[in-house]
A = this chain, B = another copy of it.
């Protein structure tokens, strides 16, 4: 029943990228920021549907595997679901496609009431209003003994971290300097207090940083 955060960040702490364009919807920075994660066997299987067994099997894979383990529900901001792009279209089912990779109840933070959306693979999006303290019990209840992930965006993650509601933070720190975007650390001076911090370096050069409630 832990509340968890998992993010890829740059050396300078940016967890978002800013060079997306209509022609290049992911930009050039995002693929670089998530390259080591996207190369893992778990990502290829779970997100890309490639069950050939291809993908890395080292330290990055260990964390990628753990990423999906034990999650019973997820909380995300409206932007991560896609509501900022299609706020007025009640038929919009998010930008996660027909098989959203969550496979658990997902609580999308929004002030606009919407019907829940259910997918065949177990993903159900619920649209809820409220503070982190108000929404978290609903997600924990839905997680049915599993963990709750705070998925994003970065502002949502910072709110839950700042409110002291997160038990475990895993950051994959990628060896690049982005220089712009949203920083995970802003407003979180002293956040290390109350956590044990561990680091592990992967073959890819990524440093996996884990904060665990001490």
Contacts and interface: CB of A to CB of B under 8 A. Distances in A.
A190 interface: yes
Interface string A97-137: 00000000000000000000000000000000000000000
* Integer count of this chain's copies in the complex: 2
B205 A197 contact: yes
Given A13-B11, A185-B12, A200 B201 contact: yes
Classify chain A's interface size.
Answer: 20 to 34
Nearest to A197: B175
A192 to B, nearest CB: 5
Main secondary structure, interface of A, reads: loop
Contacts of A175: 192, 197, 199, 209
A189 interface: yes
Interface in A160-192: 173, 175-180, 183, 185-192
Contacts of A12: 13, 183, 185, 188
Contacts of A191: 177
Given A201-B207, A207-B199, A180 B189 contact: yes
Contacts of A69: none
A163 B168 CA distance: 39
B183 A179 contact: no
B199 A189 contact: no
Given A175-B192, A199-B207, 6 more contacts: A11-B209, A173-B207, A176-B190, A177-B189, A177-B191, A201-B207
